[in-house]
Amino acid sequence: MQATFRALTDSLVPSTRRIGYESPINITDMGVHEYLIYGLDHYIAIQEQLHHITLPLAYPTAIMLDEAATQLVNTGRAQASPQIQFPGGGMFSRLSREDRIQTLSALENLAFDLYLLPSPFQNNGGLIKHVIDALNRFAMFGYYSEWPAYGTTRLYPPDDRRLEFFPWGWQQVGYPGVSLGYRDFRGMLIEYEEVKAKEVD
């Protein structure tokens, strides 16, 4: 499952980062795939008779990606590589980046046999579309927010996490991070009292 999510984030977010003269940061180091797994496994909480349960979605999602990839390969819409880039992964992780995106696209367009998917996705087009979209959003929010910078505490309960360094994503785009304020006041174009007085006239 880890390999499938590594292959997924590898196709969605920028792959390696070089900031200044430091050695390149691999996206696996950023752990965005673990962010996705956490998000999916905490996404749906429901009541089953007397028990309140959380429905883990990460594992069935990985199976779904592999199943869809297999269908694409079998129908000649994608090609599997003989080289193993993500050890332990299934069919999805053996596709090129472009074909992985094709797979996601086919899934959200429901362009394959939904009967072959695992529960809770089997014949459940709405949930498939919802989750495929979430994969994209989670990957980008995981990558460009401060989440990777929680470092060794990333997967701790939210209130126990501590920032260990300045977030890579923020550094990359030039976001200065948490701010007390900025001295960029260029005046007021109009003011409430002035406008209200004018309306009374």
Partner 1 sequence: MKTDPDVIVIGAGGGGPVIAKELGELGIRVLVLEAGPWYGNKNWPNPNENRGEEKESSNPNDLDGALYRKQITRLENDMNDFVSGKFRWGSADRRRGPWYRNIPDPTILWQTAGIGGGTIHYYANSLRAFPHAIDNEWPINYADLIPYYEKVEKTLPVEFAPTTSKEALFYYAAEQSGFSLNKTLDVTSSGYRPQPNAILPPNEHLMDPNYSMEEISHMEGCTLSGHCGQGCPYGPTYEKMAKRSTNVSYVPLAMKTGNVTFRPNTFVTKVLTENDVKRGKRAVGIQVRDTWTGETEELRAKVVVMAAGCIETPRLWLNSELPHNPWVGRGLTNHYMDMVTGTFDEETLTEIIGSPSINPFVGHTSGARLDYPGLGMIENIGESPGISAQTLFAFSEYGYNSLGESNQEMWESRGRLVGSELEEAMKGYRRTLTLSVITDDEVQFHNRVELDPHVKDEHGAIPLVHYTPSEKSKMRREQLVKIATDMLRKAGAKEIHRSDLPPNYYIHLQSTMRMGYVVDTSCEAYQVERLYIADNSADYNSLGGPNPTLTTQALATRTAEHLANKYF
Q: Which of residues 11-30 bind partner 1 (CB under 8 A)?
A: 11-15
Contact status, residue 58 vs residue 36, Cβ threshold 8 Å:
yes
Binder among 20, 82, 87, 174 for partner 1 (CB under 8 A): 174
For 181, the token pair is 């304020």
Residue in the block written with tokens 């992780």: 93
> Helix (H, G, I), strand (E, B), or coil: what is residue 25?
strand
Considering only residues 119 through 148, tell me which ones interact with partner 1, judged by CB under 8 A: 124-127, 129-130, 132-133, 136-137, 139-147
In the complex with partner 1, the residue whose CB is nearer, 21 or 178, is: 178
Query: CB of residue 78 vs partner 1: minimum separation in angstroms?
Result: 13
Phi/psi at 180 (5° precision):
-85, -25
Query: CB of residue 157 vs partner 1: minimum separation in angstroms?
Result: 5
**How long, in residues, is the chain?**
201
In the complex with partner 1, the residue whose CB is nearer, 84 or 101, is: 101
Binder among 2, 25, 28, 38 for partner 1 (CB under 8 A): 38
Number of residues engaging partner 1 in binding (CB under 8 A): 74
* 71 interacts with partner 1 by CB under 8 A: no
Considering only residues 76 through 95, tell me which ones interact with partner 1, judged by CB under 8 A: none
16-24 LR contacts (CB < 8 Å, sep 24+) = 17/168, 17/172, 19/168, 19/171, 19/172
Query: CB of residue 144 vs partner 1: minimum separation in angstroms?
Result: 4
Phi/psi at 184 (5° precision):
-125, 40
